[in-house]
Structure 1
Amino acid sequence: MTTTTSPRELEHPERDQIRLEAVLHALADPVRLQIVWEMAREGVGLSCSYFDLPVTKSTTTHHFRVLREGGVIQQTYRGTAKLNSLRRDDLDALFPGLLDKVLTGVAAQAAREGGAI
């Protein structure tokens, strides 16, 4: 069961609640793949404002929510900023190699298409 203890804490699935289909759904969108790619590349928690995405602020919020509810990212408040981190340990424990394969695929696709990720 997901839990929150205050209005400033966001609901996240517990590790044993993360489902493969939710992770795959979260990773099935190009904007969300870009977010995950950048988070993996930086390796630290990033604020929502760090990302330069080709969508509106409300759509950006939706993408982060899908990633959080799917168990792909963890969001925590630091003051007024919301920091986003990959749940790499959880994903690697549940689906060994999945995240690395997805990230490798994203890089290969970008190279084939001659574009940035």
Structure 2
Amino acid sequence: MAKSLRSKWKRKMKAEKRKKNAPKELARLKAALALGEKGEITMKDVAEIATVVPAEKLMEAQKEDSDAGKMDIDCKRNKNTMLDDQGRYPVWMSHRQIKKLKAKRTGKKGKPKKGMAW
């Protein structure tokens, strides 16, 4: 997506703004580093330039993310029928797909063939 003229213009202007502001940002960062070497820097000075987060919080966030990476699936789904343990189909499945799977599962054939039945 994002191929319209408006979005192209917006991206172009953001790039222009980054070019314009880059020297200012660089100067501010250099000033902060210079103060840091002398030991005169305070958290208030750095807070204007960047957000400061303690290392402990970052480590805790990483542990939580690694635990959150594994999905806890309460219901088990049958791979052939796509039914969960309560007999429901997935939300993303269309009614046509459900109808096809249901017919396959119950073994219903279409209409009986015309002709003589012995």
* TM score, norm. by length of structure 1: 0.22
Task: Please identify which structure carries the higher strand content.
Answer: 1
Q: Which has the higher contact order (CA 8 A, sep 6+)?
A: 1
Whose Rg is larger?
Answer: 2
* TM score, norm. by length of structure 2: 0.22
